[in-house]
Structure 1
């Protein structure tokens, strides 16, 4: 459904006028906030309703914004001229930046292999040199990453070897301890056997 064009005149119905005021007031304050955030602009809005109620929004301190407004307003034509000069300077800088971006995008497309049909031999040679320089840089970085990875693996290998040696020493110590305990147990067993052999039976029953 297409909305009809609203005539710019006072709304006679008080209820409709109040509803329209509330909606458009909120929309205006919202737009002022969005403008201040998106464009990093200093925005101040002051609204008085028909009954004299105040509504306001300021992206910074309201009083400082008003003082800044008075300062610029008192400048008169001089301030306007400076503002126009600044605007023209910004426009010029914007055009320069746009041209630089366009050239960078064009160069990027050529490096990717697009739009080469319009290039001269010198331009193609320059692109070839740029690609060679880029490849050298990429290969150097790739080799650097490989070396870092190899050093990391070597360090990990050293740690594993040290852990293996530590475990081997620990196992050797445990084996020696087992052998020692086994020898002691055998000696104790032999002593028990000797004592048992000497005291079996009555003395008079032993053979001479």
Structure 2
């Protein structure tokens, strides 16, 4: 059997009323805790017993929540108007900050300095000097890095040049070793011009007959 409905009215029995108060109070505080944790809500709960005893629960601070409640109640208009007013104030604050930053940028560029006080000009000068020091230090760092890179690159190029020279020299020596010297033939001793001339004449004398033999041969053919 399920639990029956309880009539919502004042409990006349003092003991029963006190027991019910303790049970319902603890259940109410438990529900408030669960609501604050599950929904990330700001909860403040105040309970006075029939005897005037105070019981309270708050996930942050009861006083802060009450002050927030008073502030929300004192503001006229619906919640939408309140949010609009809040965002309008935030927008005005951001506009002022942007205008201030734009003025500082113009002053750094040397513009509108006639409207700046002497103290602000000194602070501006100091800021610019510190900025210039940082810029120069960064520039020198980049120059040193570039010089070191060029030096390393030069060493690499020199090493590559040496390797190329060594390869070219090796190729030239190999070609010289494979080529024959002038005036020499493979398997024969060197010969001078007189030997070549005499050899040519002897070869001609061997292959071509004398002139009278040729004429006699031609006469026999003609007959």
Q: TM-score, normalised by structure 1?
A: 0.48
Greater C-alpha Rg: 2
Relative contact order, higher structure (CA 8 A, sep 6+): 1
Q: TM-score, normalised by structure 2?
A: 0.45
